Amino acid sequence: MGLMSLLVRSAITGVERFYPERVITNDDLSKVVDTNDEWIQTRTGIKERRRVKKGQASSDLAAEAIEKLLRRTQTDVLDVDLIIVGTVTPDMMFPSTACQIQKKIGAKNAWGFDLSAACSGFLFSLGTGDQYVLGGKYKKVIVVGVDVMSSIVDPQDRNTCVLFGDGAAAVMLEQIPEGTQLGILDFIHRTDGNGGEYLYMPAGGSLNPASAETLEKRMHYVHQEGKQVFKYAVNEMANISEEILEKNGFKPEDVDLFVPHQANLRIIESCQKRLGLPDSKVMVNIGKYANTTAATIPSCLAMAVEDGRLKKGDLVLLASFGAGFTWGATLLRWAY
């Protein structure tokens, strides 16, 4: 048996998404803060977003997405080896959201953990899952991006409350022979802690544990300097997209589908313009679902499958940027 026949790649063999039922429109928000539909759409591209009902947590959304994924891939839940959860809104500090999900779906033979990288959470988790599959010990790895951003967004801050939504999406990662040329080709991940001061939640951790003072100062909500985040996101998402294409011998015109993180339509369009891609090659769902943080990229992939925009062998470019700062890109050939 030749060496090539022994080599494997990891590949996404299924993807599904789940959103809570409650729809919050821009007009709904205008009744709470000083804003309006035109102002929000012009600056963000967002028309509406989803919100959980009381008592509905990240693990609930993720479990729904995963159960749909198991049905789609005809996978027995007992065959799942590992669950990796990208999230910044865990159900609680501990146990991990992965443990909560494992219990809810009955994945008795799986272990799992949470990974915190904000809006880059899915790509960082996908790269981590890729390495576990390539190691050969784990055959079926579920990677889920999920966030309930409504739990940490200040409803009185019009600059942030309009931006975010709640949602989850999950993919199945499995081995695929490298000779097929399908699957994950490469990924690049980056962090720069100097950006932490521009997008963060100051309280709730060991630095500023919950107290009457932190509650009074509204420190348990997202704090963002939008102009700084916008500037970095536009530059770094485009830079890392160009870098991963060049590294692997591709040009932007070779890309069949570009799936950027859905933070702001202006950021998406700026990155699209840098790459010279037509609208037909760019996946966007921000208008209907807003920024669901770690769930944006996998939910876009799920929608692309539903809409017939992905076919086996397509070259797919994923790119993200988030708090940390964190950013990354993944290049893959669609496997089904």
* Tokens encoding 248: 């692997």
pLDDT of residue 180: 87
* Statement to judge: residues 194 and 54 lie in one domain: no
Q: Which of 261, 264, 285, 300 is catalytic?
A: 261
pLDDT of residue 7: 78
* Statement to judge: residues 9 and 153 lie in one domain: yes
**What is the domain count for the chain?**
2
| Residue in 85, 130, 124 with CA at minimum distance from that of residue 104 | 85
* Statement to judge: residues 130 and 189 lie in one domain: no
**Is 248 designated active site?**
no
**Is 119 designated active site?**
yes
Instruction: Show the low-confidence residues of the chain (pLDDT under 50).
Output: 1-5
* Statement to judge: residues 192 and 329 lie in one domain: yes
Strand partners, 8: 177
* Boundary-marking domain end, from 146, 180, 214: 180
* Statement to judge: residues 247 and 113 lie in one domain: no
Per residue in 109-159, pLDDT (tens digit) is 999 999 999 999 999 999 999 999 999 999 999 999 999 999 999 999 999
* Boundary-marking domain end, from 180, 199, 219: 180
Residue 320 sits in a domain whose CATH number is 3.40.47.10
* Boundary-marking domain end, from 164, 180, 196: 180
Please check whether residue 189 is in contact with residue 328, taking contact to mean a CB–CB distance below 8 angstroms: yes
- Give the rounded percent of residues in the chain with a pLDDT score beyond 90: 96
List the domain range (segments joined by +) for residue 235. Answer: 183-333
* Statement to judge: residues 150 and 21 lie in one domain: yes
**Is 220 designated active site?**
no
Q: In angstroms, how far is CA 66 from the centroid of its own chain?
A: 15
Q: In angstroms, how far is CA 159 from the centroid of its own chain?
A: 21
Please check whether residue 158 is in contact with residue 33, taking contact to mean a CB–CB distance below 8 angstroms: yes
Per residue in 213-260, pLDDT (tens digit) is 999 999 999 999 999 999 999 999 999 999 999 999 999 999 999 999
* Tokens encoding 3: 């060496």
Cβ neighbours around 172 below 10 Å, total: 22
